[in-house]
Amino acid sequence: MMGGELDLAKEVFLNWGFIDLDNLISNASRFASS
């Protein structure tokens, strides 16, 4: 695997990780408030 590809994969993984974390937090707060 090329270094550039690894960096790109890591960037995509981090971006999706942050999106999932944000969704998880919003779902948890919605569940807690209901």
| DSSP of 13-28 | HHHHHHHHHHHHHHHH
- Quote the pLDDT of residue 29: 92
Q: pLDDT in tens for each of the 34 residues of the chain?
A: 578 888 998 998 888 878 888 999 999 999 899 7
Q: How far apart are CA 30 and CA 33, in angstroms?
A: 5
Please give the Cα distance from 29 to 5 (Å, whole number). 36
Q: What is the CA radius of gyration of the chain?
A: 15
